[in-house]
Structure 1
Amino acid sequence: MAVFTGMDKKILSRDGTPLAYESTGQGPAVILVSGAMSTGGTVAPLAVPLSDRFTVLVYDRRGRGESGDTAPYAVEREVEDLAALIGAAGGEACLHGISSGGALVLRAAASGLPVRRVAVYETPFADFSEHGAKRRAEYTENLTAALAQGRRGDAVELFLRLVEMPDEMIQGARRSPMWPGMEAVAPSLAYDNAVLGDGLVPRDRLASVTVPVLAVAGGASPEWLQEATRAVAEAVPEGSYRNLAGQTHMVDPDALAPVLADYFTR
């Protein structure tokens, strides 16, 4: 089994932005895409068990980790980033996105990139969350203002409140050694927000996806997340749904990896 040692490769995206990535294992290519407030290192634990059967690429999305950034941001640039990584992987790959990273891989699949199969884990579309659309609109407005005024800490706190982290945990995080690192990637919160669009399941876009999509949810996650995941599967012509008993949004890589391995080898 391969061991993840960090991002030691670089590739340029179409707009010249350098992307840091690492590949492990041998076999068909699988690219893992992280969600908000995370880097490629966040999904690296999932790469390790998959590397027995696949060449697994993990990367720092633009604006975080060791990758660069180029203004102005557009979701299309992140799709081009995936195109560059697919090229580095040999011209075809399976994609797996966690949380808002799932929204990005779904956009990539809809754009016609050479993708064999797609899997997503709990993409947080807010259709089934109480006041979900309203909360997302308020979050977008407040996040935009905080970042425009350079209030990175407040931007991080807005996100943590959106994902319903308790106040005492937020205040503890602010005092913790990890907080400067969280503030460092705060501008990328706007990127994940843009990838999610209006925050609702993009049924028209998903209807245009021509490759199989597996949407996975955790059985111990909030009901609205499970329903949103099921809605993604139902909106894709070749969509399927899987529920992992006992798992939450912080899914155990050892529980998810066998599901992905079976799906990607079909």
Structure 2
Amino acid sequence: MDVAISRDGTRIAYDRRGSGPALILVDGALGHRAFNPHGAALAGLLQDAFTVYTYDRRGRGDSGDTAPYAVEREIEDLEALIRDAGGRAHLFGMSSGAVLALDAAAHGLAVEALALYEPPFIVDGSRPPLPPDYAVRVGALAAEGRRAEAVEYFMTAALGLPAELLGGMREDPSFARMEKVAHTLAYDAAVIGGTMSGVPLPPHRWASVTAPVLVADGGKSEHTFADGADALAAVLRDVRRATLDGQTHDVDPEVLAPVLRDFFAH
């Protein structure tokens, strides 16, 4: 494990493997190095062509968590990682991590290119939007020590899972690991902002992004993801749009890796 020091002094833990151009993988909600086997597998598949960085976003795993939280601090965390990576990097963002990666590029970080898989935008009526008080409520549940309830609220309100599935999920060992980082669900809500509200994306939020961007979704995912990916592609300058046949939000690294390899090679 290595550590990058963010601008506010927060320690950001990361692993590095392989050789070649730097590629930083940005996790979505609840994900971190000890709780993302797909991320580790993807890094292993790409390490022959890239120096791949997997890291714990602040508040997760071995990284610190300096209060108060702000999205700008997470962007500064990526800035520190890019600095440790040699000053420039490719970014791959998964789900809400895709939005964070895009915001980092919009803030002027030295990003060569970005690949984004299923940013969780809700831009129409294809599924219910996030409740207006979602961010406040999920943060309050975690702050009150009701971490399991915070995770369940995320799963039903944000992921759209039926409530009847939650009982069985609580029995899975992975649920306890999600509870440990439940406070960071409010962080992801801040990153997402109003992009899950069922309205069009803000046309200027990423207007300053000049790096090439790949926006991908899975062919077997809910249609909401395709609608969001199309909406994002429509507001970016240099964009490639792709759909991975047979894939869902839980994308197979064996399918994803060659797509990323091809995109970042050009």
TM-score range (shorter-chain normalised) is over 0.9
Secondary structure class of the residue paired with 1:204: coil
SS in 1 for 2:234: helix
Label 1:132 to 1:212 Cα distance change in 2 as closer, same or farther (>3 A).
Answer: farther
Once residues 108 and 168 of structure 2 are traced to their aligned partners in structure 1, the CA distance between those partners, rounded to angstroms, is 44
Contact kept, 8 Å, 2:136 with 2:186, in 1: the verdict is no
Q: Does 1:199 align with 2:192?
A: no
Residues 146-161 of structure 1 mapped to structure 2, 5 A cutoff: 146-161=141-156
Instruction: Report Cα offsets for 1:52-86 as digits up to 9, x if no partner.
Output: 10000000000011111100000000000000000
Distance in structure 1 (CA, Å) of the matches to 2:136 and 2:62: 28
Query: Within 2, Cα distance between the matches of 1:62 and 1:226?
Result: 29
Calculate the TM-score normalised by the size of structure 1.
Answer: 0.93
Q: Does 1:20 align with 2:4?
A: no
Sequence identity, in percent? 49
> Which deviates the most, 199-208 or 82-91?
199-208
Aligned runs of 1:20-39 on 2, under 5 Å? 20-39=13-32
Q: Deviations along 1:138-166, whole A, 9 cap, x unmatched?
A: 42242133133221111000011121223
Matches within 5 A, 1:88-167: 88-130=84-126, 132-133=128-129, 135-162=130-157, 163-167=159-163
Q: Unaligned regions of 5+ residues in structure 2, if any?
A: none
Q: Secondary structure at the match of 1:207?
A: coil
1:238 aligns with 2:243: no
Structure 1: runs of 5 or more not aligned: 1-7
Residues 11/70 of structure 1: CA separation in 2 closer, same or farther (3 Å cut): same
Please give the alpha-carbon distance, in whole angstroms, between the structure 2 residues aligned to 1:18 and 1:129: 41
SS of the aligned residue for 2:249 comes to coil
Kindly report structure 1 stretches of 4+ aligned residues shifted beyond 3 Å.
129-133
Could you tell me which residue of structure 2 aligns to residue 3 of structure 1? Answer: none
Distance apart, 1:191 and its partner CA: 0.6
Tell me, what secondary structure is at the counterpart of 2:206? helix
Alpha-carbon distance in structure 2 between the residues aligned to 1:182 and 1:114: 32
Whole-Å separation in 2 of the counterparts to 1:40 and 1:202: 32
* Aligned pairs for 1:173-192 within 5 A: 173-192=169-188
| Aligned twin of 1:254 | 254
Classify the secondary structure of the residue corresponding to 1:173. Answer: helix
Alignment partner, residue 53 of structure 1: 49
- Report what 1:11 is aligned to: 4
Deviation for aligned residue 1:44: 1.5
The answer to whether the 8 Å contact 1:33/1:40 transfers is no
Following superposition, the deviation at residue 210 of structure 1 comes to: 1.1
- Count of matched residue pairs: 258
Q: Secondary structure at the match of 1:203?
A: coil
1:173 deviates by 1.8
For residue 240 of structure 1, what is the amino acid of its counterpart?
R
> Quick check: 2:69–2:187 contact (8 Å CA) kept in 1?
yes
Cα distance in structure 2, aligned partners of 1:165 and 1:28: 38
TM-score by length of 2: 0.93
Call closer, same or farther: CA 1:96–1:189 in 2, change over 3 Å: same
CA drift of 1:131 comes to 5.8
